[in-house]
Chain A
Amino acid sequence: MYRWLKVATAVTLLSGMAHEVDALDSHVHEHEHGQHVWESKEVRSELTGQIGGVICLWAGASAAYKLMRRRKEQDNV
Chain B
Amino acid sequence: MLRIRQMYAIARVTFQGNLRKQILQVVLILTLAAVLSTTLLSFFDLGVQVKILKDLSLASILFCGGILAVTISVGCIPAELQGHTAYPTLARAVRRSDYLVGHYLGVCMTCFLCTAIIGIVFLGILGVYEHSLDIPVILGMGYVFLEIALLAAVGMFFSVFLSPMVSATLTMFVFLLGQIKVTYLHGAIDRMTIPISKQIMQGIYYLVPNLDCFSFKDAFVHNIPIPASFLALVALYALVYTSFLVTLSGVLLLRREV
Contact A38 B216 (CB under 8 A): yes
Contact B197 A48 (CB under 8 A): no
Contact A43 B213 (CB under 8 A): yes
Contact A61 B247 (CB under 8 A): yes
Contact A8 B200 (CB under 8 A): yes
On chain A, the number of residues with a Cβ less than 8 Å from chain B's Cβ atoms is 35
Contact A65 B250 (CB under 8 A): yes
* Residue in A51, A58, A72 whose CB lies within 8 Å of B236: A51
Interface of A is mostly: helix
User: Is B251 an interface residue when CB atoms closer than 8 A count as contact?
Assistant: yes
Contact A36 B201 (CB under 8 A): no
CA distance A72 to B97 in the complex (A): 14
Known: A27-B187, A69-B95. A62 touches B213 (CB 8 A): no
* Residue in A40, A47, A64 whose CB lies within 8 Å of B237: A47
Contact A40 B247 (CB under 8 A): no
Rounded to whole Å, the gap between the CB of B218 and the closest CB of chain A is 7
Contact A8 B196 (CB under 8 A): yes
Q: Which residue of chain A is the closest to B218 with respect to CB atoms?
A: A36
Contact A47 B194 (CB under 8 A): no
Rounded to whole Å, the gap between the CB of B199 and the closest CB of chain A is 9
User: Is A15 an interface residue when CB atoms closer than 8 A count as contact?
Assistant: yes
Residues of A within 8 A of B184 (CB): 27, 31
Residues of B within 8 A of A69 (CB): 95, 254
Contact A61 B196 (CB under 8 A): no
User: Is A12 an interface residue when CB atoms closer than 8 A count as contact?
Assistant: yes
Rounded to whole Å, the gap between the CB of A47 and the closest CB of chain B is 5
* Residue in B95, B188, B240, B255 whose CB lies within 8 Å of A55: B240
Contact B234 A47 (CB under 8 A): yes
Rounded to whole Å, the gap between the CB of A69 and the closest CB of chain B is 6
Contact A37 B237 (CB under 8 A): no
Q: Which of B122-130, B159-167, B223-231 contacts A (4 or more CB under 8 A)?
A: B223-231
Task: Enumerate 10 A-B pairs (CB-CB under 8 Å) in ascending A order.
Answer: A11-B197, A16-B192, A19-B192, A20-B191, A23-B191, A27-B187, A38-B213, A43-B210, A48-B233, A55-B240
* Beyond known contacts A38-B216, A61-B247: 13 more, CB 8 A cutoff: A15-B193, A16-B188, A37-B183, A38-B230, A47-B233, A50-B237, A50-B241, A51-B233, A54-B241, A58-B240, A58-B243, A69-B95, A69-B254
